[in-house]
Amino acid sequence: MIRYIVALLFPLSVFSQAEKPHNGVKAPDQNSFVLTNVTILISPDKTIENGTITVRNGKITSVDKILLTTPKDLVVIDGNNAVVVPSFIEVNSTMGIPADQKAENKTGPYYWNHAIRAEFDAIDWYKADEKMTAEYQKMGFGSVLIHRNDGLAQGYGSLMQLGTTNTDNQPYLSKAASFYSFRKGSSPQDYPSSLVGSIALLRQSFYDAQWHAEYGKDANYTLEALTLQLKKPAFFTLDDKSDVFRVKSFMREFKREFAVIGTGQEQFLGNAWDTLKIPVVIPINFPEAFDLKDPYLAHEIPYSELKIWEMASRNPGFLFKHKVPFITSAAGHTTAADFWKHIHQALAAGWSVNDVLRSLTIAPATLLGVQKELGTIETDKWANFTVYDQNPFLYKAKVLEVFSKGERRILQNAPISDIRGTYSLNIDGVKYWLEIAGTPSQPEAKVKLVRTIQDSLTLANKSDTLTTKAKLTLLNNDIAIHFVQQIDGENQAFSLKGDVNPRVFIFEGEGTNNKGRWIKWSALRNKKYEAKDENKQAWTADTLTISPTRFPNSAFGFTAPPKQSVIIFEQATIWTNTDEGIIQEGTVIVENGKIKAIHKGSGTYMKPNDAVVINARGKILTTGIIDEHSHIALTRGVNEGGQAVTCEVRMEDAINAEDIDVYRQLAGGVTAAQLLHGSANPIGGQSALIKLKWGHYPHEYPIKNAPKFVKFALGENVKQSNWGVSNRFPQTRMGVEQVYIDAFSRALAYHQAKSGQQTGKQKDKNITPPAVDLELEALYEIVSGERKITCHSYVQSEINMLMHVADSFGFKVNTFTHILEGYKLADKMKEHGVGASTFSDWWAYKFEVMDAIPQNAALMTNMGLTVAINSDDAEMGRRLNQEAAKTIKYGGATEEQAWKMVTLNPAKLLHLDDRMGTIQVGKDADLVLWTNNPLSVTAKPLYTVVDGEILFDAQKDFIIQQEIAAERARIIAKMSEESKKGESTKPFLRKRKGHFHCNTLGEEESLEVNEH
Amino acid sequence: MKTIIYTFLVLLVSVNGYGQKKYNKILVEGATVHIGNGNVISTGSVGIENGIITLVKNTLAYTYDKSDWDTVITLNGHHLYPGFVAPNSTLGLTEIDAVRASRDFQEMGTFNPHVRAQIAYNCESDVIETVRTNGVLMIQTTPRGGRISGQSSLMASSCWNWEDGTIKADDGVHIDWPSAYTRKWGDPITKTNETYEEQKRELIAYLKYAKVSAGNKDKNTPLQYSAMSDCFNGEKRFYFHADEVQQINDILDLISELDIKFPVIVGGYESYLVAERLKIKNVPVMIGRLHSLPRHDDDAFDLPYKLPFLLQQAGVQFCLQNEGDMEAMNARNLPFLAGTAMSYGLTEEEAIRSITLSACEIMGISKNYGTIEVGKKAVLYGSTGSALEMKSNQASLLLINGIFVPTTNFQTELYKKYKTKYGK
């Protein structure tokens, strides 16, 4: 009641600020009225029929089932049984933002990196786009949150009210939200050039903003904006469905909230949504079918793409079933027809009408904090609603009118009533039948004349009906009917114009007949039109069960998530890698991901009922292969090549759990790997030590509590010798040394400044602590020995140099990787205590490897070094057992030595040998069962087990191949069917599977020559 | 005693260098002799006179007078193979992949049928040395690039100069068939190549002109056309480099149209899909590097490994080759490609054939090379263990046209040098 009085005293915000001068007399507002006789979808779970909405000054003052007395001061609009739906709210739009605007190189109080543009306000660049606005209104949207999609931190978005006349681009809500992405956008700077770099830069800028908020004295508009944006909704645009985990990681680190703008492939993350707890905005512009004209090109379409197409419309339904409170976006649609087509498809595929409405109204309103003003048709909210001829969620409806803050815009005149039926039509005394069908808003008419003619043969009279199509137009209660009748070869044209009495369905008026004479006519409805087909729902629930999605979405993904089970390998020949050597016949029992027991001979042991018992007689059981140097399972860049020192980047941020090479390497017996940054810079990024957990999420790949590692590189790659023109320091091996000394010195100074602040007994207010510097943090970890180095290296001079630099700073280099001239200074390496991880036989691919010899690994082993054989190559990575065998050939290594080079020794180099690398009770159950001696070219893995889960099974692989062939054929047939129906298709563009190499620059995988 | 002879011999060879002394009558005995045509003699004797194989017998059933032979080499327990052949390789034309000055395999221009690899072949290549000691004794040194890359030649992996190293000069012309799908350098997107028909027409027109030209024994035949005249009559091969079904089908059509006598498909990743046609038309395939990743995500992980088996089952003739990343240095792994073919369906002897006799048949030199049979040139590789296995391929004898070649290379020398330094 009090509220009501206040509203009366200060009728809304009309007088909020001084008005702009008018040219002429101020036009009166027309935003107060009563809309009656409508079906009102008040909110997702409340609908009233025959309702009335009262609106004053643009706001809803009441919504009633029956209005007893119409306010005398208000205009009444008869809704004529139309359906009123709250206007939708779009949160992901770049409407009105010029697409060609590039990030400028701003100088001044801005962040040093122009991919961070938090101060940017989209409203500054906004220009109303009438065409798109009209299309949004036809879709049913009343307000749109616009932003510029450029850069990592993209700045503010504004919520725009559509359809009001006097706004002058005035946003409904300015700085309504902030936007972020994983793409650096149009920034002209080199850094960042990869996903890992982008993430590091975003993190660094968040830390800088924190520091600036507390200690900053100089103005910095970017950092100030970042801080302000903490209090507002923030959206993160994803490039890939798995990016949602990356956003979650930001949320944990900075204890803040984000909503994500998804990809439409959310369902392929499966049950992850049960625990993700993150607001998500999904697109529903489902992909078109592929053009299948060329069967050879169709052959190139991967199963995953086919499945994305097939499942697309099920995505909203999937999220609905998993109770994810998602928001639906029309992004990607250019026409309302497509938008509604996709809504209906999704409804057919398991979504619910209520939830569609929720996802388009309450959900976005709540996220933006405007749920008290927008989103439903309730008292005190803005009169933002759309009037349809029928329920748009069920039928192919048309938007008749749009109300925007109470301002009415008529898109299409509503029919005065449903005039369809059969009429007796009297034209100047002649009786015709008039049949009106079609839809209420677009009636179609036929005129029939029944006459009696004489049969020329029998001379008998008989009745004949002459039917003529007529053109009928109905505007309010004006009706016009025009038809041309052919009688005995003569064209007779009639034009009739009249009024409709909608209550008794009588038409009356005048017109011209075939002779051009003015005549009177009238029509009276005899029979109502029988609604048969036209009121058919726009969709029917799709009850077809289709084969489930695979996880990951790949031909070789799992249909059910892999689970740890009790696995018993019976009567295996066990290569223990311990002092026990080879157990000729024994049993290994795996439970809870660990090796639980090893029995020699045929011991007795419990077999739980659900145990997987594998008869391994005559087969070799080994521990899994560990690849010390790998670049598989990474996405969008392996090198942050923008700078010489980039240890702030973490490969863990870019794990790609859908890389088919993970599966292929499991098929080659690999169970763990160090995913290294590339070799583009002297100090590269932080490694990810992972297990090949095919069928798991990217954040499940890293090994828990693994030691910290970083990639260093020496030689031609960091000098950029083979990459054309380069002007980055260093250009020589001499310069490389200085980069190290400089970096380590800076790290020590940083640490000193930081610890001086922390250890001081009283916080000295005059001394400002250093801002968190992610690069220096990592460098200090390195120089203090906490983070271990794997260093890409070839020639002996530089290897010697790095050991000296490390010694002078009092730490040790952990591993030299590649280390092709290791044999030349194995004695010095032994003294320093560094290990070696090398290729078996590569050489001659560039100048610095001309002295590489395949006896290297064996000779270093003989010198007492811990030596591993690595791949640095997605193909060779699946044959590391064979590469190990080459050390027997070239350097005379024993089989045991050779085998350890791809198992125990890399475990040692990675300081993981306490849990991997041998078959011992208590160690991780990372096991491979081979057909025969794995050092033979004829050996093949039968099973590969990671953490107690069977992730490769040779027999199942064969079955999957058959299944996928059938599945492909099924979906392709479906697709062909679809394109026959006239649905548009698109040509197939296949992203070729490139591979990351040490020297791959940028975010795209390389198809170029690997220079390692 | 016999092993002593063997050791002495190797020592002698390594001191003198290859080709220093001619051994006119050599008997190699005791090894498992893999003939190369699918047959094997578990303990065999092979006699060589003036570089030609004159005797192949079961050692146990053969008694001889020692004085008949000026050299007897006993390889008890070893394996003896026809020298392996590396078809379609840039070996000899490149030394350091990343150093432009050392790359000699790609001439500029689109149509280069007249360009000849033979004369750029570097006998002293360090890379060849390391390939040779794994058993690769013959190389089809092959140019790259353009639509028509040029002519390959068959070379010995040890020679003084390209003249005495030539086994067969200008054995064929290499054509890089246009891809039906656009694959621009650095562009990761595959799409239908809009200009495929045009590129194909251009190439076919060029070949038609060449064919007409070959028929006219006119002295004024253009240089480019005359380079191909022997390719139409079967004297030389046409090597069509192609992997896709579309390409292979179009090539097969062209072969009929121009009546090309000995066409060869090089690469053939998708050849298994058109194996029936290849068999009917009797077109062999030089299968691309087996140690490759599948090209499509949905392909079986081991599809490249079992391609030889698939073609063999379909009755298509094939041999193995190794084109690809770092192919020159990687050519020493050719025997292991055969090893992989063996693990994925071929028998051991079939696998050996795929890098010996089959390769020679396809390239047209099987009359003199490719098997250990009487009358053939003595190109032999002895290994202490199976040469198809990484762990046991260990050179014990290298014989090229009857001339001993050292089983060492500069890498083994470097190895020795640093072993000595460390006193190991």
Q: What b/e sequence results for A704-740 when a residue is b if at least 16 CB atoms lie within 10 Å of its CB, and e otherwise?
A: eebeebbbbbbbbbbbbbbbeeeebebeebeebbebb
pLDDT at A28: 78
pLDDT at site B62: 83
Which 3 state secondary structure label does DSSP give A108? Answer: coil
Minimal Cβ distance to A302: which of B192, B296, B336: B296
Mean pLDDT of A991-998: 64
3-state secondary structure of A233: coil
Closest residue in B to A301 (Cα–Cα)? B296
Beta bridge partners of A486: A491
> Is a pLDDT exceeding 80 seen at residue A759?
no
pLDDT digits (tens, 9 = 90+) for B100-115: 899 999 999 999 999 9
Q: Note whether B411 contacts A855, CB cutoff 8 Å.
A: yes
**Which of B190, B293, B390 has the CB atom closest to A875's CB atom?**
B293
pLDDT at A516: 81
Residues of A within 8 A of B136 (CB-CB) are none
Contact flag B186-A991 (C-beta cutoff 8 Å): no
Q: What is the DSSP letter of B208?
A: H
Secondary structure of A898-946 as H, E, C letters: HHHCCCHHHHHHCCCCCCCCCCCCCCECCEEEECCCCCCCCCCEEEEEE
- Give the helix/strand (H/E) hosting A525: strand A518-528
Give the angle subtended at the CA of B386 by the CAs of B382 and B387, to the nearest 5°.
65
What was the pLDDT predicted at B67? 83
Which letter does DSSP use for residue A361 in this model?
Answer: T
What does residue A102 show for φ and ψ, rounded to 5 degrees? -105, 155
B325 to A993: CB separation less than 8 angstroms, yes or no: no
CB A357 within 8 A of CB A44: yes
Instruction: Give the pLDDT score at A71.
Output: 85
**B301·A855 Cβ contact <8 A:** no
Tokens of A997: 């190499």
Closest chain A CA to residue B343: A938
Q: Cα separation of A897 and A888, whole Å? A: 9
Residue A812: what are its φ and ψ, rounded to 5°?
-120, 145
Work out the percent of chain A whose per-residue pLDDT is above 70.
93
Q: Which helix (H) or strand (E) holds A828?
A: helix A826-832
CA pair distance A881, A896, nearest whole angstrom: 12
Q: Which contiguous run of DSSP H or E holds residue A77?
A: strand A75-86
Amino acid at site A681: N
CA gap B102, A844 in Å, rounded: 11
On chain B, the residues whose CB falls within 8 A of the CB of A939 are: 343
What whole-number distance in Å separates Cα of residue A225 and Cα of residue A223? 5
Whether A9 has a pLDDT exceeding 50, the answer reads no
Substitution target in A872, A883, A889 with the highest count of B β-carbons within 10 Å is A889
Per DSSP, the three-state class of B274 is helix
Strand segments, DSSP code E, in B59-185 are 71-74, 79-82, 84-89, 136-141, 148-156, 166-176, 181-182
Q: Which residue has the higher pLDDT, A253 or A416?
A: A253
Which pLDDT score, from 0 to 100, does residue B185 have? 54
Q: Is A169's pLDDT higher than 70?
A: no
Q: What is the mean pLDDT of residues A74-82?
A: 90
Can you tell me the mean pLDDT for A375-389?
96
CA-wise closest residue to B267 among B236, B307, B325, B232:
B307
Q: Can you tell me the distance from the alpha carbon of A512 to that of A492, in angstroms, rounded to the nearest whole number?
A: 11
Q: What is the pLDDT of residue A1005?
A: 61
**Which range among A253-262, A425-434, A624-633, A784-793 shows the weakest confidence by mean pLDDT?**
A425-434
Q: CA torsion sign, A116 to A118 to A119 to A120?
A: positive
Which residue, among A175, A176, A168, A196, has the nearest Cα to A184 in the 3D structure? Answer: A196
Return the percentage of chain A with pLDDT > 90, whole number: 71
Residue A962 has pLDDT above 60, yes or no: yes
Contacts of residue B294 in chain A, CB cutoff 8 Å? 664
pLDDT digits (tens, 9 = 90+) for A835-859: 999 999 999 999 999 999 999 999 9
**pLDDT computed for residue B222 by the predictor:** 85
Is 50 exceeded by the pLDDT of residue A12?
no
Query: What CA–CA distance (Å, rounded) separates A392 from A409?
Result: 18
Q: To the nearest 10°, report the CA torsion of A279, A285, A289, A290.
A: -90
Cα–Cα dist B329/B134, whole Å: 11
Residues of chain B with pLDDT under 70: 1-23, 182-190, 217-219
Question: Alpha-carbon distance A185 to A99, whole Å?
Answer: 12
Residue B276: the pLDDT is 97
| pLDDT score at B7 | 38
Are the C-beta atoms of A347 and A539 separated by less than 8 Å? yes
Above 70 in pLDDT, residue A561? yes
A962 touches B: beta carbon within 8 Å: no
**Residue pairs spanning A and B at CB distance below 8 A:** 171
Tell me the pLDDT band of A760, cut-offs 50, 70 and 90.
low
**With contacts defined as CB-CB under 8 Å, which chain B residues touch A993?**
293, 295, 297
pLDDT of residue B1: 34
The alpha-carbon gap from B145 to the nearest alpha carbon of chain A, in Å, equals: 15
- Give the separation between CA B413 and CA B406, rounded to whole angstroms: 12
Say what the pLDDT of residue A418 is: 81
Task: Count how many Cα atoms sit within 13 Å of the Cα of residue A74 in the half-sphere of its side chain.
Answer: 23
Q: What are phi and psi of A33, to 5 degrees?
A: -175, 175
> Could A1005 and B389 be called an inter-chain contact, meaning their C-beta atoms sit closer than 8 Å?
no
User: CA of B247, closest CA in chain A: separation in Å?
Assistant: 10
> For A279-303, b where at least 16 C-beta lie within 10 A, e where not — what string?
bbbbbbbbebbbbbeeebbbbbbbb
Distance from CA of A658 to the nearest CA of B (A): 11
Closest CA relative to residue A392, chosen from A433, A309, A336, A446: A336
Q: Is A303 helix (H, G, I), strand (E, B) or coil?
A: helix
Return d(Cα A558, Cα A1) in angstroms, integer: 61
Query: Chain B residues with CB inside 8 Å of A886's CB?
Result: 390-391
C-alpha distances (whole Å) from B378 to each of B35, B65, B83, B349, B375 are 12, 21, 9, 19, 9
Considering only the C-alpha atoms of chain B, give the largest distance between any 2 of them, rounded to a whole number of Å. Answer: 71
Residue A60: which H helix or E strand, with range? strand A59-64
Contact A964 B301 (CB under 8 A): no
**Burial tier of A451 (Cβ tally within 10 Å: 0-12, 13-18, 19+):** exposed
Contacts of B144 in chain A (CB under 8 A): none
Angstroms from A46 CA to nearest CA on chain B:
49
pLDDT tens-digit map of A692-708: 999 999 999 999 999 99
Distance from the B66 Cα atom to the nearest Cα atom in chain A, whole angstroms? 33
Q: Which among A616, A641, A576 has a CA at the least distance from the CA of A896?
A: A576
pLDDT computed for residue B184 by the predictor = 59
Return the number of other C-beta atoms located less than 10 Å from residue A96's C-beta.
20
